[in-house]
Amino acid sequence: MFNSLQQQPADKILALMQVYKEDPRENKIDLGVGVYKDASGQTPIMQSIKRAEHMLWETQDTKSYVGLTGTPEFSETMIDLVLGDKFDKNLTASAATPGGTGAVRQAFELGKLANPNLRVFVSDPTWPNHLSILKYLGIPVEPYRYFDAKTRAVDFSSMMTDLENAKEGDLILLHGCCHNPTGANLKAPEWDAVIELLLKSGATPMIDIAYQGFGDGLEEDASGVRKLVNSVPETIIAASCSKNFGIYRERTGLLIVVSHDKDARDLNQSTLAFLNRQNFSFPPDHGARLVTMVLSDEELKRSWMEELEAVRTSMLSLRTQLATELEKLSGSNRFGFLADHRGMFSRLGASPEQVNELRENHAVYMVGDSRLNIAGLNSKTVPVLAKAIVDCGI
């Protein structure tokens, strides 16, 4: 039976991880997969998480099942984090999921359950796995223009023109902050204009927020989402704890459905439980429990916020260093956008050939669309990368 299987397309980001691993060159630089690395190239466990893990080991006395949608405490602390602690939780249904990707997948399934003719509007470009999951689920994709290849900023007027085609029953997928793969983000007035468009069209926003705290700060990165949920009737949010808590392999995420119709809450909640049961039954608990402990203990939370802030500012500093070095070497400020972008990623704007040349001749690994992970750099590799970029004529 299995010899009828067709080879499935490899995920470009994960395939690159493998090629990097197999490269024997000692001076290789990994700017591929979106994982934070410190100056020594390690992805450390945050101290706050380590301490929570220790406490959990000492106090946990059962590994029996929790609930189909995880614990209420995880939902509550995460909703406070994403939507602010003033947000009325009676308006929310939520379910713990295996990572942010699990939440994205459940969100699409929820959309399809609500509307069998669902279309999802996605930014061009977006995280490749959004497209891959949508294709797998047979959900039509409507790309909207997003990135101006010349300025490397958001092409907002084209985005709005394309979103004019959205109507009630469609989902519009937006990145809450730190757009993946471009690093170019909506400004406050642009969020306002998107909200107006949503109200006019009746389309439902879906926010993927996987990097809260990596851009301008924990509160600042959530400001667009917060304004949106207070303005439109319904919103779906897929939140990830992988990056901001550094617990990638623990697979910790939360799907939140906000509805201003209070009567809808129970039905939304039971539908999320049903979807979890069909797909994987109970969500993973370990990471969710650590996050709950960190967010509900004043001292652990303070320590986590400090660690996260150090991660954020180190990436900002690398951005400035790289932009400055490139200005020096290229004699122009055409790479200034690197300092303006936010989050882990920037799209450099190199051709696929130049991306290959960077890999083959300079042992620099970035994703084929020239997305680079800023956190893969350190102060020693910044000048090496800048020289390689200029040498490749980018």
Site string for ligand LMR, 177-216 (x = CB under 6 A): ---x------------------------------------
In the residue annotation, 86 being an active-site residue is answered as no
Question: CB-wise, 111 or 128, nearer to ligand LMR?
Answer: 128
* Cβ-based nearer residue to ligand LMR, 76 or 124: 124
Give the pairing type, strands 345-347 and 371-373: antiparallel
Q: Which stretches does DSSP call E strand in the chain?
A: 29-30, 92-97, 120-124, 141-145, 171-175, 204-209, 234-240, 253-259, 345-347, 364-365, 371-373
- If one asks whether residue 13 binds ligand LMR (CB under 6 A), the answer comes out as yes
Catalytic residue, chosen from 30, 155, 238, 243, is: 243
Catalytic residue among 107, 166, 184, 210: 210
For the question of residue 191 being annotated catalytic, the response is: no
Q: Distance between CA 154 and CA 351 in Å, rounded? A: 19
C-alpha to C-alpha distance for 343 and 178, rounded to whole angstroms: 4
Element (H, E) at 31: none
Residue of closest CB approach to ligand LMR: 34
Let me know: does 77 contact 244? Beta carbons within 8 Å. Answer: no
Report the candidate in 49, 23, 25 with the shortest Cα–Cα distance to residue 36: 49
CA 261 vs CA 90, 92, 93, 233, 257: distances in Å: 10, 10, 12, 7, 11
In the complex, the smallest distance separating the C-beta of residue 213 from ligand LMR, rounded to whole angstroms, is 15
- 34 or 215, CB closer to ligand LMR? 34
Q: How far is CA 307 from CA 181, 199, 250, 294, in A?
A: 24, 38, 19, 12
Per-residue x/- track, 106-135, ligand LMR (CB under 6 A): ---------------------x-x------
Site string for ligand LMR, 155-184 (x = CB under 6 A): -------------------------x----
Q: Which is nearer to ligand LMR, 133 or 291 (CB)?
A: 133
What is the C-alpha to C-alpha distance for residues 205 and 202, in angstroms, rounded to an integer? 9
SS3 25: coil
Q: Is 127 designated active site? A: yes
- Among 12, 15, 28, 33, which residue interacts with ligand LMR (rule: CB under 6 A)? 33
Residue 34 sits in the site that holds ligand LMR (CB under 6 A):
yes
Per-residue x/- track, 295-334, ligand LMR (CB under 6 A)? ----------------------------------------
Judge whether 124 counts as a catalytic residue: no
DSSP state of 368: T
To ligand LMR, the closest distance from the beta carbon of 116 in angstroms equals: 28
Alpha helices per DSSP H over 123-222? 128-136, 156-163, 188-201, 218-221
- 171-175 and 120-124 as β-strands: parallel, antiparallel, unpaired? parallel
Question: Total residues contacting ligand LMR (rule CB under 6 A)?
Answer: 6
- Active-site residues, by number, are 127, 208, 210, 243
Footprint of ligand LMR (CB under 6 A): 13, 33-34, 127, 129, 180
